[in-house]
């Protein structure tokens, strides 16, 4: 029965098709830069906007997994809620149907060699001759990928055509739609690509190997199969990723179940009512879009309930001192950078609390241990190394390095105060006027900077006036430093203190002033807008 089927031709076609899909996704991602990350980050204010962002991004990027990765990273960084993430991922299900339309429209109506070979030829030459221009190299890579996509489809179509000549479709008549749905699911789970599965289904349908209903069931199964990839990726992953995977599983399986129940009705609607009986391939592409849109419409009112259910079923169990970075995938640079900024802002608040409790041990019920601050800094540095290990735009890399310097400054300040704690206690216990004045100056400066740090709204770095307030604090610190040095000189000249005591006070003042400067520089860096291309790193 399979004598006419050339397996190696089919596998070669499948391999070339998958390689073309991967190459196309990579080239589009590099060409788009941060455009789609910005789209997903900014245009998800409502559930409807989030769905359309998912549709548009997936249709252009040709990868629902790439969009899902961005979304999960933004959830971990606190940029996007789980509800918004679910809405975007629902949109990716509709957006991914664009591949079926491309294959159905171009793959079976034209002489594939007539345009796939020129694309591969022009693109291949462009990759060599334009190697000095990353943009033109990626455009050339896109042309090669597009050519490979259809060359692979042509190989598969030719091998299946030969199979159709010796295979009677009636042999599949005894199998129910559930069997075909299961086949589609398994194929997608194995190849990790619903696009490849759908291309094979369209090829088999075009060649007459399977019926429309069987092909529709396989497409439904392929839709569920994409969730297997997400589930596998969530194993051992962050909590938000597991919650999103559970939500997508519920949505996808429920959509598949509803569609299978009304499959005869949908088949009649596409073929008879809309008149696609003479063009089954385009009809199947339309069916793919229709049932995904039905799923979005049915679940749209329950997105918030779905998010609440997932959050209830999968609880966060924080095992680290950090709050944001342990939940955020570092491979999406925008999300990783924002998570890093929020985490270092939190580190700053803990460090300021540590300073305040060192100055006034009896005022604070919550105790911050210096060892915790050391561990915290270590977690931040470890996450930084993971973020910069991925390919980043130059401007984002500069800002990431500036954030790390902020974290190091904050840790240095904590160490300075930790090392000074005994000297501070000694100075505060002195009873003579000179030492009391010196203690007052140092304590007031440290207390003022901790108070200002607590007032800053680091979660909203674009709020007007905050940078100005920090600059005024900087001016105050510099003025008080000079005033302290002048005061020590006068006390030494009038014999109120000895040379040794003057040296002790000046060294303490130097450490405190340097610590204040480092804190101010860190505040300025944390208040800079992450995505402002003109913003320069402070420090």
Check whether 535 has a pLDDT greater than 50. no
pLDDT, residue 119, reads 83
Q: Look-up: residue for tokens 């809309």?
A: 274
CA dist., res. 227 & res. 454, Å (int) = 44
CA dist., res. 470 & res. 450, Å (int) = 12
pLDDT, residue 258, reads 92
Share above pLDDT 70 across residues of the chain, in percent, rounded to a whole number: 80
Signed CA dihedral, 110, 113, 115, 119: sign only: positive
CA dist., res. 126 & res. 136, Å (int) = 7
- Continuous segment of H or E residues that includes residue 411: helix 394-429
Which pLDDT tens digit goes with each residue over 216-249? Answer: 999 998 888 877 766 765 665 567 777 888 888 8
* Domains of the chain from N-terminus onward: 7-313 (no CATH), 325-527 (1.20.58.220)
Question: Mean per-residue pLDDT for 186-206?
Answer: 79
Which pLDDT tens digit goes with each residue over 99-135? Answer: 788 878 776 665 656 667 888 888 889 888 888 887 7
Check whether 520 has a pLDDT greater than 90. yes
CA dist., res. 488 & res. 30, Å (int) = 60
Question: Mean per-residue pLDDT for 364-372?
Answer: 76
CA dist., res. 267 & res. 216, Å (int) = 8
Helix, strand, coil distribution of the chain in percent, nearest 5: 80, 0, 20
User: pTM for this one?
Assistant: 0.64
Please, what is the end-to-end C-alpha distance for the chain in angstroms? 74
Range in 46-55, 325-334, 414-423 the model is least confident about: 325-334
pLDDT, residue 240, reads 72
Q: Which residue, 284, 266, 272, is CA-closest to 105?
A: 284
Q: Which DSSP string do the residues of 49-73 spell out, in sequence order? A: HHHHHHHHHHHHHT-HHHHHHHHHH
Q: How far is CA 539 from CA 399, 402, 525, in A?
A: 11, 7, 8
Confidence of residue 537 (pLDDT cuts 50, 70, 90): very low
CA dist., res. 505 & res. 500, Å (int) = 9
């Amino acid at each position: 029965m399979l004598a006419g089927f050339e397996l190696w031709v089919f596998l070669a076609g499948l391999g070339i098709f998958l390689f073309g899909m991967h190459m196309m996704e990579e080239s589009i991602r590099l060409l788009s830069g941060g455009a789609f990350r910005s789209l997903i980050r900014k245009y998800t204010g409502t559930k409807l906007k989030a769905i359309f962002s998912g549709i548009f991004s997936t249709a252009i990027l040709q990868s629902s997994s790439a969009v899902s990765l961005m979304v999960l990273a933004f959830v971990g960084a606190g940029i996007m809620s789980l509800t918004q993430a679910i809405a975007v991922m629902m949109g990716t299900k509709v957006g991914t149907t664009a591949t079926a339309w491309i294959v159905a429209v171009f793959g079976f109506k034209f002489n594939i060699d007539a345009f796939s070979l020129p694309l591969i030829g022009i693109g291949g030459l462009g990759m060599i001759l334009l190697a000095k221009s990353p943009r033109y190299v990626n455009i050339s890579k896109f042309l090669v990928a597009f050519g490979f996509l259809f060359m692979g489809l042509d190989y598969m179509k030719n091998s299946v055509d030969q199979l159709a000549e010796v295979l009677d479709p009636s042999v599949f008549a005894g199998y129910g739609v559930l069997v075909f749905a299961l086949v589609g699911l398994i194929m997608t789970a194995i190849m990790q690509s619903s696009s490849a599965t759908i291309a094979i289904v369209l090829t088999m349908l075009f060649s007459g190997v399977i019926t429309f209903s069987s092909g529709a069931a396989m497409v439904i199964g392929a839709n569920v199969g994409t969730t297997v990839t997400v589930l596998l990726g969530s194993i051992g992953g962050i909590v938000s990723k597991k919650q999103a995977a559970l939500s997508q599983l519920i949505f996808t399986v429920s959509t598949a179940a509803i569609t299978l129940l009304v499959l005869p009705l949908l088949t009649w609607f596409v073929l008879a009512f809309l008149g696609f009986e003479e063009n089954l391939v385009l009809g199947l592409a339309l069916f793919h879009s229709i049932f995904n849109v039905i799923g979005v419409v049915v679940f749209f009112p329950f997105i918030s309930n779905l998010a609440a259910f997932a959050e209830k079923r999968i609880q966060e169990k924080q095992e680290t001192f950090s709050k944001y970075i342990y939940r955020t995938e570092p491979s999406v640079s925008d999300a990783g950078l924002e998570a890093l900024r929020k985490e270092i802002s939190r580190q700053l608040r803990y460090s300021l609390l540590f300073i305040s409790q060192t100055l006034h041990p009896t005022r604070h019920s919550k105790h911050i241990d210096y060892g915790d601050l050391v561990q915290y800094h270590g977690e931040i540095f470890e996450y930084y190394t993971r973020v910069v290990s991925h390919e980043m735009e130059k401007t984002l890399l500069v800002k990431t390095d500036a954030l790390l310097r902020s974290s190091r400054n904050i840790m240095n300040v904590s160490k300075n105060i930790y090392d000074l704690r005994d000297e501070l206690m000694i100075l505060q216990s002195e009873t003579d006027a000179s030492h009391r004045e010196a203690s007052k100056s140092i304590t007031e400066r440290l207390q003022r900077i901790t108070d200002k740090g607590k007032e800053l709204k680091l979660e909203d770095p674009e709020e007007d006036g905050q940078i100005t307030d920090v600059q005024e604090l900087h001016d105050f610190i510099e003025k008080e430093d000079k005033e302290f040095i002048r005061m020590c000189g006068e006390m030494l000249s009038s014999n109120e203190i000895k040379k040794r005591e003057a040296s002790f006070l000046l060294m303490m003042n130097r450490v405190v002033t340097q610590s204040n400067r480092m804190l101010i520089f860190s505040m300025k860096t944390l208040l800079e807008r992450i995505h402002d291309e003109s913003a320069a790193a402070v420090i």
